[in-house]
């Protein structure tokens, strides 16, 4: 496949073989998400945003596997450096029980190891004074450990989450979710979690806020913890937020809201957890979405684009007691940690933050200029992009129509589609994707 000339080519979706694979899988797998019957054939040609399904259809994937493949398919920026690695057994290591080397020296190994990934993560979070990393297998585990170290650090009992939040599917992180009811219904929850609005009203300030976060001259957080408040700030273990909400609808925060998060966190010395699992690792045109705002996170959680989970913080927040946090299979496997390290290298060495900013701007302008009926908002930072429709039904129809045209996208929130092109997406590929979306919407 030649990425420079490839285009979506669709006969029938889903085709006969895709239906066969989906049905076979469905007879064995527990009911889960599965947006549509797209069956990627990993033995067929694929590169960047282009992939081939089981029936030979070529599709433009603007989901990047929900951000977990930040450079798309078979990207030479990842594959070429990995050619130096010879497969070994076991690939899966007991990552918090044993160490692993990559040949050479720790500072300059022949291939990146989990410690090499941690080096890179600390480089990218040095502006927040972070000096320790705990690796795990997933974003939910990264958030779960963020909660645990925050409870341990503060001896508090309260947590604060945001309306519209999504932080994972473990029992602990489910207690923080405020997006779809299906995630939490009937499951037991961690007690003493308070919820405040996530203000995404871009046309308002603190005096005109319509979401309820600001009222009568102060924020709900200040009302909660101020001199006449009902929560002792010394008993708050953490305030957790996605700097940009993902599953909740690609909601971008109001500036006054983020100013207030920063002020309250500093005034009351709150442990601030920034969930960067979907918005981090270059997705927004900066390495971390937090970098766009005045907040100073004490803990950053990452996963998806890293291929492993990571809880990043400071020595004085992580517990000292051996075994207090641990995971036999933490850090994924040798290849996963290597892919995470190489992804961070590619972002830095090939100016992919600048590319994300420029190509994201191109997508937003193209779709806005089309001025299509039924679209009420087009928004984004970098390549974290959303198109909002006037109803959930129209959104779902456009998602299905885009699929039939060969464009893969995903729903989020109540009536939005999200787009996560590869971080090295080209001008031509953005133009293709915008055209396919507009054709589907029409």
Model confidence over 184-241: pLDDT tens digits? 999 999 999 999 999 998 878 888 888 899 998 899 999 999 988 999 999 999 999 9
pLDDT more than 90, % of the chain: 85
Q: Is pLDDT of 326 > 90?
A: yes
What local confidence, expressed as pLDDT, does residue 93 receive?
84
Under a CB-based contact definition with an 8 Å cutoff, are residues 196 and 221 in contact?
yes
d(CA 411, CA 2): 29
Res. 111 pLDDT band, cuts 50 70 90: confident
Q: Across the chain, what does the average pLDDT equal?
A: 95
- Going by their DSSP bridges, the two strands 416-419 and 410-412 should be labelled as antiparallel
pLDDT more than 70, % of the chain: 100
Under a CB-based contact definition with an 8 Å cutoff, are residues 117 and 308 in contact?
yes
Under a CB-based contact definition with an 8 Å cutoff, are residues 173 and 140 in contact?
yes
Instruction: Assign domain 114-349 to a CATH class.
Output: alpha beta
> What are residue 392's phi and psi, to 5 degrees?
-60, -35
Put residue 89 in one of left, alpha, beta given phi > 0 → left and psi -120 to 50 → alpha: beta
Tokens 């045109």 belong to 285
- Burial of residue 339 (CB within 10 Å: 0-12, 13-18, 19+) is buried
């Amino acid at each position: 496949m030649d990425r420079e000339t490839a285009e979506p080519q669709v006969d029938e979706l889903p085709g006969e073989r895709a239906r066969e694979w989906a049905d076979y899988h469905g007879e064995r797998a527990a009911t889960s998400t599965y947006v549509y019957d797209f069956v990627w054939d990993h033995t067929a040609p694929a590169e960047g945003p282009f992939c081939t399904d089981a029936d030979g259809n070529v599709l433009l994937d603007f989901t990047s596997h929900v951000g977990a493949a930040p450079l798309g398919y078979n990207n030479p920026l990842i594959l070429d450096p990995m050619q130096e690695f010879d497969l070994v057994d076991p690939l899966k290591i007991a990552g918090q029980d044993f160490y692993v080397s990559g040949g050479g020296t720790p500072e300059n190994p022949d291939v990146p190891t989990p410690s090499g990934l941690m080096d890179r993560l600390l480089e990218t979070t040095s502006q927040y004074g972070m000096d320790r990393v705990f690796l795990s297998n997933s974003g939910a585990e990264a958030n779960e450990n963020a909660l645990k170290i925050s409870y341990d650090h503060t001896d508090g009992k309260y947590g604060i989450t945001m309306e519209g939040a999504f932080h994972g599917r473990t029992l602990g992180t489910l207690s923080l979710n405020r997006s779809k009811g299906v995630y939490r219904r009937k499951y037991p929850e961690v007690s003493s979690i308070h919820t405040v609005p996530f203000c995404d009203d871009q046309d308002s300030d603190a005096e005109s806020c319509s979401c309820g976060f600001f009222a009568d001259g102060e924020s709900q957080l200040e009302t909660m913890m101020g001199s006449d408040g009902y929560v002792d700030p010394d008993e708050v273990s953490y305030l957790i937020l996605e700097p940009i909400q993902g599953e909740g609808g690609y909601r971008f925060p109001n500036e006054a809201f983020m100013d207030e998060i920063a002020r309250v966190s500093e005034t009351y010395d709150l442990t601030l957890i920034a969930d960067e699992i979907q918005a981090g690792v270059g997705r927004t045109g900066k390495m971390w979405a937090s970098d766009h705002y005045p907040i100073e996170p004490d803990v950053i959680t990452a996963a998806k684009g890293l291929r492993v989970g990571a809880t990043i913080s400071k020595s004085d927040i992580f517990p000292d007691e051996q075994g207090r946090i641990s995971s036999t299979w933490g850090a994924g496997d040798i290849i996963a940690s290597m892919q995470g390290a190489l992804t961070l290298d590619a972002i830095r060495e090939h100016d992919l933050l600048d590319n994300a900013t420029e190509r994201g701007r191109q997508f937003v302008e193209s779709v806005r200029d089309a001025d299509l009926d039924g679209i009420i908002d087009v928004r984004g930072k970098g390549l974290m992009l959303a198109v909002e429709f006037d109803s959930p039904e129209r959104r779902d129809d456009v998602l299905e129509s885009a699929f039939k045209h060969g464009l893969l996208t995903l729903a989020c929130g109540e009536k939005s589609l999200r787009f996560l092109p590869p971080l090295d997406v080209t001008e031509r590929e953005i133009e293709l994707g915008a055209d396919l979306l507009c054709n589907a919407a029409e």
